[in-house]
């Protein structure tokens, strides 16, 4: 564009060819004390109008001292069309301005994809979360006889719980034997740690059923274990929540609850408190 302007200027500066400029481009008014050079003034005025149109193509003209300098839409279009490189310049500027935002978005998506593939490196290793429970415990257990029926009838049991470590802590086996006025309960729980998801699955069975129930899955956070799953109760599926809390070297509390409304409300139906048998050593953490 610089070369084009230079060549045009050289043409209009030839004294003998001033008639080449259209009459409409000549200035209608010459400032006082200024040498009258209609050819150069007309060229400068036309170039200034074109530059203003390129820098502020959407801005209407303003009035100054009562004289309106606003150009009609058709005149702005004429200016833009008379400088074809102006449209290209605006397009290039817009693309350059958009490059940082596009690059930032691409980098954000790339980082998110990389994190999803590699996994979160800050995820805690919970394979020894149940080491506190290894050993023999005295168990006091309360069971709600008819869950999710509005009943408030509880039965009590007492007995022992023995927890054995498997796979250096990445699994453990729980054996429960308790007795009460309502009878005898023999239960077994196999707990397995998943090193990919950093979660535990708790799989329970009793001697009357002989099969493992669907697992509850979860983890420990802040010294509290929370696990969720699904179970069948009287022919319908209900949500299960199992919580391990109040953990100390010599005691722990266990609580199971059911929900039949998608987890909006929960009803506790199993509560147990374990106290370590005297002389038993705590599991290494």
Boundaries of every domain in the chain:
2-60+70-82, 131-276
Sign of the C-alpha dihedral computed for residues 185, 245, 227 and 134 taken in this order: negative
165: confidence class by pLDDT, cuts 50, 70, 90: very high
Q: What is the mean pLDDT of residues 162-175?
A: 96
Give the Cα-Cα-Cα angle 264, 266, 270 (nearest 5 degrees).
165
d(CA 71, CA 1): 24
pLDDT at 42 over 60: no
Q: What are the DSSP calls for 58-75, one per residue? A: TPPP-EETTEE-PPPHHH
The alpha carbons of the chain give a radius of gyration, in whole angstroms, of 42
d(CA 195, CA 46): 74
pLDDT at 215 over 50: yes
Q: Are 222 and 244 in contact (CB under 8 A)?
A: no
- pLDDT, residue 88, reads 55
d(CA 231, CA 58): 66
Residues whose CB is less than 8 angstroms from the CB of residue 211 and which lie 6 or more positions away in sequence, other chains included? 205
d(CA 51, CA 11): 20
Residue with the larger pLDDT of the pair 65 and 154:
154
- pLDDT, residue 274, reads 98
Q: Are 224 and 243 in contact (CB under 8 A)?
A: yes
- pLDDT, residue 282, reads 55
Residues whose CB is less than 8 angstroms from the CB of residue 47 and which lie 6 or more positions away in sequence, other chains included? 5
Q: Are 30 and 41 in contact (CB under 8 A)?
A: yes
**What is the residue whose two structure tokens read 């796979």?**
167
pLDDT at 216 over 50: yes
- pLDDT, residue 77, reads 53
- pLDDT, residue 123, reads 74
- pLDDT, residue 278, reads 82
- pLDDT, residue 124, reads 82
Residue with the larger pLDDT of the pair 35 and 147:
147
Q: Which two tokens stand for residue 44?
A: 């400068």
pLDDT at 180 over 60: yes
- pLDDT, residue 117, reads 39
Domain 131-276 has CATH 2.60.40.10: no
Give the chain's largest Cα–Cα span. 125
pLDDT at 177 over 70: yes
Residue with the larger pLDDT of the pair 53 and 244:
244
- pLDDT, residue 115, reads 40
**DSSP letter, residue 197:** T
**pLDDT tens digit string along 44-96?**
555 445 444 444 544 444 444 444 444 445 555 554 555 555 555 555 555 45
- pLDDT, residue 209, reads 84
- pLDDT, residue 263, reads 96
């Amino acid at each position: 564009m610089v070369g084009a302007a230079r060549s045009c200027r050289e043409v209009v500066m030839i004294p003998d060819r001033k008639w080449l400029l259209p009459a409409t481009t000549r200035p209608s008014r010459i400032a006082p004390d200024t040498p009258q050079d209609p050819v150069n003034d007309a060229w400068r005025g036309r170039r200034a109008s074109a530059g203003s149109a390129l820098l502020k193509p959407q801005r209407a003209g303003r009035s100054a001292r009562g004289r309106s300098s606003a150009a009609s839409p058709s005149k702005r279009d004429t200016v833009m069309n008379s400088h074809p490189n102006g449209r290209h310049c605006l397009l290039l500027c817009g693309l350059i301005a958009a490059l940082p935002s596009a690059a930032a978005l691409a980098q954000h998506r790339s980082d998110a994809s990389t994190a999803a593939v590699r996994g979160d490196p800050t995820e805690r290793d919970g394979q020894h979360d149940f080491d506190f429970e290894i050993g023999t415990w005295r168990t006091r257990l309360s069971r709600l006889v008819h869950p999710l029926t509005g009943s408030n009838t509880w039965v009590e049991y007492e007995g022992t719980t023995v927890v054995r470590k498997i796979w250096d802590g990445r699994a453990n086996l729980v054996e429960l034997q308790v007795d009460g006025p309502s009878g005898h309960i023999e239960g077994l729980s196999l707990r397995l740690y998943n090193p990919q998801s950093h979660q535990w699955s708790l799989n329970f069975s009793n001697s009357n059923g002989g099969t493992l129930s669907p697992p509850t899955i979860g983890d420990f956070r802040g010294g509290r274990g929370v696990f969720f799953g699904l179970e069948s109760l009287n022919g319908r599926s209900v949500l299960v929540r199992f919580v391990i809390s109040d953990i100390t070297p010599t005691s722990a509390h266990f609580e199971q609850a059911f929900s039949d409304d998608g987890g909006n409300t929960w009803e506790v139906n199993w509560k147990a408190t374990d106290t370590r048998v005297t002389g038993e050593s705590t599991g290494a953490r």
